[in-house]
Amino acid sequence: MNRNNNQYKYNKYRKQYKRFIYESFDYSINENTITASFNFNLDNKHSFRPTIQFPFNTPIVPENVLNNHLKNIVFHIGMVELISYWKAACPPEIVIKPYALNFDQIKFWKKIYFNGLGEFFYLNSISTSIDEFVKISASSDNVLEKCSLKTENYHIIPIGGGKDSTVSMELLSGTKNTNLLLILNPRKACLETAHVGGYEDDKILKVYRTIDPLLIRLNDEGYLNGHTPFSALLAFISLLAASVVGYKNIVLSNESSSNESTVENSSVNHQYSKSIEFESDFREYYMKYITSDINYFSFLRPINETQIAKLFALNEAYFNVFKSCNVGSKNNIWCGKCAKCLFTFIILSPFIPSETMIRIFGSNLFEKKELICEFEQLIGLSETKPFECVGTIKEVNISLCEIINKHTGNKLPFLLNFYKTTINYKTFQNKPISLLLKDYNDKHFLSTFFETILKNKLND
């Protein structure tokens, strides 16, 4: 990505393309499969038609798939989906044709778009503000009404194939008969962690999202590209899934560490749509405008990445199947070359023996000199943290000190030896990891039932 001329591109495209239009959406139900499609228009010059398909193995609740409710939630999925297409040219106006939006709703969507595109603006060196970047207008008088749903106190657990959602799945192993796993665009690691957890295919909802090929072609031609708030899309997709099958609880696996900005002293956060701020805003919005019969919350919100790593380390059966590497996701491998691999290696190493870590990742990542830039980002010596889903700078530093303290060999691996020369080591070497393991963030939406399960496990 050429950062130097992207402000120029941004300004040029905004003159060339004045409006992005959410023209319409459609959905169909065929043999327990719901297919939703969206019609977006880039200033009458380019049209996009992405789709999302929900093949339900679990019985659908008939009264929950009435027209009004499905129209409401599918429309809102389109409101998130559109930002992936808007960002190609960033026109100064978004026009919503299907339904009306009031001032409160427009404010909600502007906040999601702006903060969810914080990384996109930063890495493209685009200078803008929440007031300037786009105007949202709705050209319809049709108003969607909030709906009542029939729900049971069951659980939908989105699974990503990594350690966090695996921990949530294990915490709720006692309610397995009332759990349904949700996987968006299934990868091998997602399915294998689900199967290790004891879930057959009839308890796994596989959702398939397709991107319009035109967007990929425009990106190849040099149109603007970058990160979008994927977890916000997952939030609305999970809301549809829970509604259709009548499951009350959507159990996310976002932790307190995701609240830390990626760029220090800014609002730029790669994990914005995993943060407590988004979770709170989303809950308030859907309960006011869609339904108040669903409970969306993050089970792991009170705890940090270090505590999650300790809990995950208790479940050796997942060691050979879990994957968190975005680079290697298509090939179901740890690439061993990215910041996400290095962070996962660091955060798990205090709790899993070195020889086991090397077996999981295929090599000792602490010996890789080529990871020095990613290492400096993770410990806080660079301008930014890695633009990945990683823990806090404090967690990384304290974990590294713990690893060094436990090291038994004669010679430290390269990255650990380098770390001992930094000011960070002097700052954190006397801060025991037990400080992190005692953390508990009270800003969460867990009911007493879920909080008791989590606290009991932390105290085991």
d(CA 311, CA 359): 20
Which of 342, 309, 311 lies closest to 327, judged by CA?
342
- 317 part of a folded domain: no
- 192 part of a folded domain: yes
- 372 part of a folded domain: yes
- 459 part of a folded domain: no
What residues contact 314, with CB distance under 8 A and at least 6 apart?
A: none
Q: Which domain holds residue 409?
A: 324-437
Give DSSP secondary structure letters for 47-113: EE--EEEEE--SPP-GGGS-HHHHHHHHHHHHHHHHHHHHTTT--SEEEE-SS---HHHHHHHHHHH
Structural domain count of the chain: 2
Does residue 252 surpass a pLDDT of 70? yes
d(CA 270, CA 259): 10
- 207 has which bridge partners? 184
Pairing between strand 51-55 and 204-210? Answer: antiparallel
- 307 part of a folded domain: no
Are 338 and 379 found together in one domain?
A: yes
Pairing between strand 93-96 and 51-55? Answer: unpaired
Are 89 and 148 found together in one domain?
A: yes
Are 92 and 15 found together in one domain?
A: yes
Which of 362, 351, 367, 349 lies closest to 416, judged by CA?
367
Whether the CB-CB separation of 72 and 144 falls below 8 Å is answered with yes
Quick one: average pLDDT of 351-369? 97
CA dihedral 329, 332, 334, 340 (to 10 degrees): 30
Task: Indicate the residue among 236, 263, 298 that finishes a domain.
Answer: 298
The confidence band for 4, taking pLDDT boundaries of 50, 70 and 90, is low
Are 232 and 109 found together in one domain?
A: yes
Are 32 and 170 found together in one domain?
A: yes
What are the helix (H) ranges across 273-419? 276-289, 305-312, 339-348, 354-361, 372-379, 393-406, 414-419
- What does pTM read for this prediction? 0.96
Does residue 111 surpass a pLDDT of 90? yes
The confidence band for 460, taking pLDDT boundaries of 50, 70 and 90, is confident
Whether the CB-CB separation of 238 and 296 falls below 8 Å is answered with yes
- For the stretch 227-240, pLDDT in tens is 999 999 999 999 99
Return phi, psi of residue 285, to 5°. Answer: -70, -55
Take residue 9 and report the two structure tokens written for it. Answer: 């591109």
Query: Which range has the worst mean pLDDT, 1-10, 109-118, 252-261, 417-426?
Result: 1-10
- For the stretch 140-176, pLDDT in tens is 999 999 999 999 999 999 999 999 999 999 999 999 9
Are 244 and 175 found together in one domain?
A: yes
Would you state the pLDDT for residue 408? 82
d(CA 343, CA 31): 43
Quick one: average pLDDT of 10-15? 97
Are 393 and 286 found together in one domain?
A: no
Does residue 14 surpass a pLDDT of 60? yes
